Amino acid sequence: MQYLNILLSEIYKIGFILIPILVSVALIVWLDRRVWGAVQKRRGPNVVGPFGLLQTAADALKYILKEIIIPASSNKIIFILAPVVTMTLALVAWAVIPFSDNFVIADINVGILYLFAVSSLGVYGIIMGGWASNSKYPFLGAIRSAAQMVSYEVSIGIIIINVLLCVGSLNLSDIVNAQKDLWFVVPLFPMFVIFFISALAETNRPPFDLPEAEAELVAGYQTEYSGMMYAMFWLGEYANILLMCSMGAILFLGGWLSPIDLFPFNIIPAPIWMILKILFLFFLFALVKAIVPRYRYDQLMRLGWKIFLPLSLAYVVLTASFLFYFDKLPVRGM
């Protein structure tokens, strides 16, 4: 009976996190479109439902009702598994994201490593989809995605080292609590900028959407997909975007902490602050998509390996030297 209660408790916690995330994906697609419309002086979604809020629901219904077509020459098992892998990995990463001191599914000591590992595995779904389609454009998109995500994961990993040097812990809650006096975005602002741009590349967002570039690859690794299988790729992509926004909020913007410990800011619940910071970062994601033109692939690779990697490495040395010289290194073992 005790084990049953524990199991039900964990299922409840998982549902309490995942259901809002799935709903949030629908809402941020609407927000994405509204931001694009505002930047380009258009109205955006405004017909289906109040303020166009039901447009995403209408799109989801369209995906559900459309026929799923599997190419005759494809590797059918891998073709079907690819969107499932992409969506599953995008959702399981949320297990360690804390929305407050006690509001987290798994408060593990190596939470940042877990996040980094799961987000790194996300490329497998794209590679599987591109290769299993047995088509040239999807395969080229999968190759692009593999090179792109590996390149920018290196920069993100080194950026995270800067934060870990300041905290001395791999636990995400510890990282947030270490920012009670000063958010890391202030001393590590250059790393925040590089993290934000690398997150765009990691999630295949414009101006780095080369794996699905419609101008030269039709839709890249998604070309042969339709119906709910396409929607699962789409769901995984937006869940990954929200995940990167939550990582940015935790690593640099103080997570669930209030910016000012004064009334009325200090009466707002901690999860609300976390959600507001995620939405702020997503708003920046949407602005970039509406404003910045797409990079060429050689420019994308040069930016990652010749600019971001040396800069992030230099900042690690600078951060470590500063903390050591002023005796600010955390006393806890990592």
pLDDT digits (tens, 9 = 90+) for 87-99: 888 888 888 898 8
- Weakest mean pLDDT among 183-197, 210-224, 260-274, 320-334: 210-224
Q: How confident is the model at residue 1 (pLDDT cuts 50, 70, 90)?
A: low
- Weakest mean pLDDT among 117-121, 158-162, 320-324: 117-121
pLDDT surpasses 80 at 53: yes
- 297-315 per-position pLDDT tens digit: 888 889 989 999 999 999 9
Question: Taking residues 215-230, what's their average pLDDT?
Answer: 77
- Between 322 and 11, residue with greater pLDDT: 322
Residues 6+ apart with CB under 8 A from 216: none
The predicted pLDDT at position 317 comes to 93
Question: Taking residues 109-136, what's their average pLDDT?
Answer: 85
Structural domain spans, the chain = 67-325
pLDDT surpasses 50 at 333: no
Give percent of the chain above pLDDT 90.
Answer: 19
